[in-house]
C-alpha cells in the first residue's frame, strides 16, 4: 500500500503564478480531503469530496482556489494567482466509506515569494 501520494513535495513560486498541487488517494477510498496547515491557523479543511463529488468547499479561502476530482484516483488543488499568504503545507487525506480514520499524505510545502 503506497498510501496517499502528493506531488510535488516542495514548490516555490513567484507571486501571481498558477500553482497546481496533486493527490492520489489510496485505492478504494471514496472520500478525499484537502487541508492547509500554517502556524497561525493550524490544520484547516479546505474542501472534501465523496465519490468524486465536492461536498463541502466552505473552507476554500477565496475564488483563487479551486479543486477538482476528475476520477477516483486523482485530485488537484489549484491556486491562481498565488499570493505570499498562500504559503503553507497542503495536505491531502483519504478515507474508505464507513472507515472513519483519515490517511494523510506527506504534504506539499508551498512557498510563494
Partner 1 sequence: GESVGLHLPTLSVQEGDNSIINCAYSNSASDYFIWYKQESGKGPQFIIDIRSNMDKRQGQRVTVLLNKTVKHLSLQIAATQPGDSAVYFCAERRNQGGKLIFGQGTELSVKP
The footprint of partner 1 (CB under 8 A) covers: 4, 31, 33, 35, 39-43, 45, 48, 50, 55-56, 91, 93, 95, 100-107
Cell numbers at residue 110, please?
508551498
C-beta neighbour count of 82 within 10 angstroms: 23
Nearer to partner 1, 10 or 27 (CB): 10
Q: How many CB atoms lie within 10 A of CB 22?
A: 16
Q: Closest CB to partner 1 among 13 and 96?
A: 96
Nearer to partner 1, 74 or 89 (CB): 89
Closest CA to 60 of 49, 44, 71, 76: 44
Nearest distance, CB of residue 74 and partner 1, angstroms: 18
Q: Which lies closer to partner 1 via its Cβ, residue 62 or residue 100?
A: 100
Cα gap 38→16, rounded to integer Å: 20
CA distance 33 to 46: 8
Closest approach of Cβ 67 to partner 1, in Å? Answer: 15
Q: How far is the CB of 110 from partner 1 (least distance, A)?
A: 15
Amino acid at each position: 500500500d503506497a498510501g496517499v501520494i502528493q506531488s510535488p513535495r516542495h514548490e516555490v513560486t513567484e507571486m501571481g503564478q498558477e500553482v497546481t498541487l496533486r493527490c492520489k488517494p489510496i485505492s478504494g477510498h471514496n472520500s478525499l480531503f484537502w487541508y492547509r496547515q500554517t502556524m497561525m491557523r493550524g490544520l484547516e479543511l479546505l474542501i472534501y469530496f465523496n465519490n468524486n463529488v465536492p461536498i463541502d468547499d466552505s473552507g476554500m479561502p477565496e475564488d483563487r482556489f479551486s479543486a477538482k476530482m476528475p476520477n477516483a484516483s486523482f485530485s488537484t488543488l489549484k491556486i491562481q494567482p498565488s499570493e505570499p499568504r498562500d504559503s503553507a503545507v497542503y495536505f491531502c487525506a483519504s478515507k474508505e466509506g464507513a472507515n472513519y480514520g483519515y490517511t494523510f499524505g506527506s504534504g506539499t510545502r508551498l512557498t510563494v515569494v
